[in-house]
Structure 1
Amino acid sequence: MKVLELDERRGLIKLRLESLDDMYWLMSILEEGDVVRARTVRRVKPDSSRPDSGERVPVTLSVSVEKVDVDGFSGRLRITGVIVDAPEWLGIKGRHHTISISPGRQVTVVKEEISPGVLEILKRAEAMSERPRALIVVMDERRAVVAEASDYRVRVVLELSSGVPGKVASDRERAAALGGYFRELADAIASRAERGDYEVVIVAGPGPVKEEFLGFLRGRLPELGERVRLGHASTATVNGVYEVIKRGELDRWLREFAISRDIRELDEFMSMLARRSRLVAYGLSEVSLAAECGAVERCLISSALLFSEKRGEVLSLIESLRRTRAEFHIVDSGTEPGEILDSLGGVVAFLRFSIS
């Protein structure tokens, strides 16, 4: 979640939403009577036409919130209320409308007052979104640029000259310089990896050097494992970093990593459960009890459960997790790990200590 504008005096919050987790954060700050403004679709028809006829047109509307529902499969928030602002030509002010909000959308919320609790939720949601998720390395034989990428920004952390001599140098001199270049770049990546838990490390650039370095990096830093991927860029500059992002490779690999991470977490849970460990819990009632005792260390919650009729109970659980500083993550029910999680009651937890 990115807070695009925050005006406490006017009670105005403008947000950009990117993930299922952001759907939770938005849902947790909405209250009855808030005004939500967003782009939506409204059926427009002549007065004489049938109720189900007419053209669906995109339009920006504001509604006074009466009800918030969620589609557990798509993760869309459905915000229903009375239209308080709309283009006059539509003639629909005062009627009811439902705005559907999904990841990738912008939305504006206007509240009578922005409470300290809402400010804390926004702060936490934005901090999670700004955490660097990927390290992008674009390189060729002459130079390398290393950048951190979060959901909303890219920050260059290193620009390195290779020191590899020109073609007039001997093959031995060039090989020695290239080896030194690889070691210095790999050590810089290792240093960054120690400070940031990157979900993926992408090596890209023109020419064959990136493949050579990728093999070197995997041998020197085996702990990076499957997180290291080969990307494509036409230049070893900052523009090359943005090229990797625009190709969509970063988004695809981050999603693959998220699914892989969730599978590993559930494999660990099932292994502990098979050993009859007392340091795991599953099901909404059992995990909620553990959370109230401050026993939960980390928790996985399925999107289907969060966006079900048990939403109130799940929100109470998440509030307990926030209060006791437990980690939690929302798992997409449309993925393989999400289906496994749903079969376990939609929520599992790893405990700091036994409650039985």
Structure 2
Amino acid sequence: MKILEQNIKLGEITVRTEDLNDLWTLYNIISKGDIVNALTQRRVVLSEGSPGERKRMKLTLDVEDVVFHEFSNRLRIKGTIIEGPDDFVSYGSYHTFNIEINQTLKIKKDKWLKQDLRRVKETSKFSSNFTLLIIAIESGLANVFLITNYNKHKIATINKNIPGKRYEQSMRNKYLKEFFEEIKVVLETNLTDKGINLIIICGPGSIKEHFIKFLKENSNKDYTSKMRSILASSGTESAVYEILKSGVLAKLKDKIKALEDTEKVEQIMILFGKNPDLIAIGIDEITNAIRIGAVEQLLITDTLIRGASKSKKLKVEEIINSLEKIGGKFKILNTNHPAGEQLEGLGSIVAILRYK
């Protein structure tokens, strides 16, 4: 996301979206009651009885609702019109902006909170278009996932009954080939339109190696060069979190936000087991810990902020301001990723302490 203009005193920031991560970020920071100005199209009836025509115009909306549509690559911002060309619009009527990549919009808030400004700046930190495809596979079961900086999405689950070892090897091979072929179809369908950067094939035993061998013998060599095999305990969804926290993808931490988030949550889980007194959970506990200067790092889920009441957002902002005064840091985790889901299960706000 590129910041074109900003005047924090007036509460105004003008940005241009550059990729899907930017749309996801805007989804998390634009709230009901914000004012958004953008170029849009609106159907205008020029004469009675005519079907009307779509005209391009700049409108300003008082926001009522924001929805992120990942698969249509757009952000929908609904609100009432408060500014626009008098000839074509009625103030107070509803309109929806369909914000896409490479679009400019101005956002005005009563006050820009630090967590919102952090998210705007953080979008440029990670490789915006890096997409990871994970195939978790075991005998007769495969789960396929897409991991991006804004989402973890299950594409497919493939089940196939594979005969046991008491059956002839030729029959087992036949069913395995059919199983592998079904996974290959899912893989290649998504390679064509998702821009996959890396393919992780994980699971127990040797079946993942047999699948990789099958792909190399029956697929396009251009994408087989992107494949990497990693050991995991199963072909279920839990394998995704297992490999994200394993450290084998550590070199990609600057490209995939989920890896950095997973590292932080894993640190919390280790402390829970070894030294739980160095963990604070919930707003009251964390506020008390900050008061005595004990908080080193604060982790917050996006759902704690997104859609929260104004008073709750201000409470979180107050905590962050107090935290920064004692030299602490904060990080916002995406609940569409496994680490964010895990943090949400812990109460959505957790702190790592310097001392008890």
TM-score relative to the length of structure 1: 0.47
TM-score relative to the length of structure 2: 0.47
